[in-house]
C-alpha cells in the first residue's frame, strides 16, 4: 500500500487552509508562507485533505501523522467483523461420535458469530428415502449442537440432499429454538 500523502515541497496547491501544530486554525496561507511556518516550528507541512477547496494542510511531525493514521486504521479493522457462512456436511451413516464432533465445531463457529449451513448429504439410493425420515435425521443433528442458535433457513430439499442454515441467537434466551416441522 503506497501512501500518497504529499508533504512539504511536494504540495502543489498555491494556497492552503493551514492547521497549526496545536490544532489552531491559521487560516488560508500561500504554500510558501505555510512552509515557512512549518520550518519555524521545526515540523512538516502535511496535506491532509487535498480535494478540499482550498486544500487543508497541517503542521505536524510526519512520523507522528503516519503512526496516528495506522492506529486509526487498526481500530477500524478491529471493530469490523466479517460474518461468513461456514458449511458442514452430515451423512446418513455418520457415527454418533463424529456427529458430536461436528456439532461441537458448529457451536464454535456460532460463538465466533458465523452462520452455519448444515447439509444432509444424500447419494445413491439414499436420495429416494422417505423425506420425513431424512428431515428427522437432520433435526437429530441440530439437537446435538451445544450452543444457542436460531434457524435462519428452514430445512429444505437441496440438490445434494437436505439443508438448513443456523445462526447465533441474538437474544439471551436459555433454551435452544427447536426445529419446526
Interval 14-59: pLDDT, tens = 999 999 988 899 999 999 999 999 999 999 999 999 889 899 999 9
Bridging pattern class, strands 56-60 and 15-19: parallel
What's the predicted TM-score (pTM) here? 0.52
- Domain range enclosing 15: 8-79
> In this structure, what CATH number is given to the domain that contains residue 68?
3.10.20.80
Which tens digits make up the pLDDT trace of 104-157?
Answer: 999 999 998 899 999 999 998 888 889 999 999 999 999 999 989 999 889 999
User: Considering the domain boundaries, does residue 180 fall inside one?
Assistant: no
CATH (domain of 110): 3.30.110.10
Q: Name the nearest CA neighbour of 120 among 158, 154, 149.
A: 158
Asked whether residue 99 is domain-assigned, the answer is yes
Least confident of 26-40, 68-82, 96-110: 68-82
- Judgement on whether residues 119 and 101 belong to the same structural domain of the protein: yes
Amino acid at each position: 500500500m503506497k501512501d500518497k500523502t504529499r508533504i512539504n515541497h511536494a504540495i502543489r496547491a498555491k494556497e492552503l487552509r493551514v492547521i497549526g501544530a496545536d490544532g489552531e486554525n491559521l487560516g488560508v496561507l500561500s504554500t510558501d508562507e505555510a512552509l515557512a511556518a512549518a520550518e519555524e516550528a521545526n515540523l512538516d507541512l502535511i496535506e491532509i485533505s487535498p480535494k478540499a477547496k482550498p486544500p487543508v494542510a497541517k503542521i505536524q511531525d510526519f512520523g507522528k501523522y503516519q503512526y496516528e493514521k495506522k492506529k486509526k486504521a487498526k481500530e477500524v479493522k478491529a471493530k469490523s467483523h466479517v460474518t461468513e457462512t461456514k458449511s458442514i456436511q452430515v451423512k446418513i451413516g455418520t457415527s454418533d461420535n463424529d456427529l458430536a464432533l461436528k456439532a461441537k465445531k458448529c457451536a464454535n463457529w456460532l460463538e465466533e458469530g458465523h452462520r452455519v449451513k448444515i447439509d444432509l448429504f444424500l447419494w445413491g439410493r439414499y436420495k429416494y428415502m422417505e423425506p420425513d425420515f431424512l428431515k428427522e435425521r437432520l433435526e437429530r443433528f441440530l439437537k446435538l449442537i451445544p450452543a444457542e442458535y436460531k434457524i435462519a433457513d428452514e430445512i429444505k430439499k437441496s440438490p445434494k440432499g437436505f439443508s438448513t442454515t443456523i445462526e447465533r441467537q441474538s437474544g439471551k434466551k436459555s433454551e435452544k429454538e427447536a426445529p419446526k416441522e
